Structure 1
């Protein structure tokens, strides 16, 4: 019973975090590992558990989905899905040692990009215009990361889009939520077909994530942009610190 309550609460918090700024895997993955699920299976199970919550958040945000950097949302989704398939297959072929060692550095890059996004975007606008090919390439690798692990992939999307387009984080949130959900959707299919899901632990976490995703999305639509940015940066710093500690301490 304790494990069920823990997983439900972890899903509730993770779903809310994903709806607001991303980084929900920081909560869900350690919770699954703490109840005895191996790391790769825990990551696959976490992806599935948080997926319905992402769907709930995406439904709330659906009216705000728009093009980013002049690229149509459908084209962004296609690149994201292609990357998600590649990333999920790559995860199933990756050793736990490599998996644990690489993540902190990816999160550190995402945190830096998010913090420097507005200033970097101003420089990019004066020196060059991001082209469709460059944006598609970036988005493919974001989708790959989303399918591979997914931890803070929403933060990485916001960082990259902010740097390339210079828009407010709050205005990018609906599109970010839908693209993260798209990457997770194809990853879930791969993980289920590969038999990588631990179903008993997945169900209570999924229930909590759906509720948390719905609540978090409604809160996120009402928060001022500066508040959303501060929360996003806070989640990024916390997520990066925890994963560095987990990998090296």
Structure 2
């Protein structure tokens, strides 16, 4: 890894850590950046996942005040995220790499669509704050587990998926829900990272640079919350994601 590559990946990881804390789509920054420097899709995904784990943890730490009184919820949903993330990571390693090459453009496009729709999701969430059930029951747990499978396999916009689920089934303040989202994303990324470390090829230089950058970004993102213009962040994510999709489809 040369200096230019390290700086570029480091800058992308800081942005990804901050975006993950606030929006939940940071993979759309770091993953295409790794692809641009010649990493194969699977290697990029594995290294990126491992590197983003510290960033997810720092974002969760930044929202620790909003997590007060939510231990039961975190434990219940965390079990779904743990199981789902494990299944997703295994699917990534067991399915042929050609399968990943084929589905990644579609996953990125789906994630971009979710990011574009996020303002409507947020409005929907706000309207539903007083209508959801306390914990959502089995349907909510299954939805969290399914989001974990997606997150373990690829992960972009996992946070948006979770916030949409929360709006469907839970009654609570949006900031508290966002705090839980960060914890669940940490669990999914963490269990997938354990699997990848044990059995997959990892570019440790890339993972290390992303880890440092995403940790910084996660802390900053949690601190500033929603003070940064979300339209700018969404626009950047969509542009990078669409560019990556076009490049992948063309190769």
Q: Under a length normalisation based on structure 2, what TM-score does the superposition of the two structures give?
A: 0.82
Distance in 1 between residues matched to 2:127 and 2:161, nearest whole Å = 18
CA contact (8 A) 1:48 1:206 kept: yes
Alpha carbon RMSD of aligned pairs, Å? 2.9
Residue in 2 that maps onto 1:89:
90
Residue in 1 that maps onto 2:64:
62
Shift of 1:100: 2.2
CA contact (8 A) 1:110 1:156 kept: no
Runs of at least 5 residues in structure 2 that lack an aligned partner in the other structure: none
Residue in 1 that maps onto 2:143:
138
CA contact (8 A) 2:41 2:100 kept: no
Aligned length: 240
Shift of 1:110: 6.4
Cα deviations by residue, 1:172-191 (Å, 9 ceiling, x for unpaired): 22111111001000010111
Residue in 2 that maps onto 1:25:
27
Runs of at least 5 residues in structure 1 that lack an aligned partner in the other structure: none
Cα deviations by residue, 1:171-224 (Å, 9 ceiling, x for unpaired): 32211111100100001011111223111222222211111112222222xx5x
CA contact (8 A) 2:13 2:217 kept: yes
CA contact (8 A) 2:152 2:189 kept: yes
CA contact (8 A) 2:25 2:115 kept: no
The 5 A counterparts of 1:1-249 are 1-65=3-67, 72-92=73-93, 93=95, 94-105=99-110, 107-109=112-114, 111-112=116-117, 115-116=120-121, 118-119=123-124, 131-165=136-170, 167-220=172-225, 223=226, 227=227, 231=230, 235-236=233-234, 239-240=237-238, 242-248=240-246
CA contact (8 A) 1:58 1:174 kept: yes
Q: Under a length normalisation based on structure 1, what TM-score does the superposition of the two structures give?
A: 0.83
Distance in 2 between residues matched to 1:52 and 1:102, nearest whole Å = 23
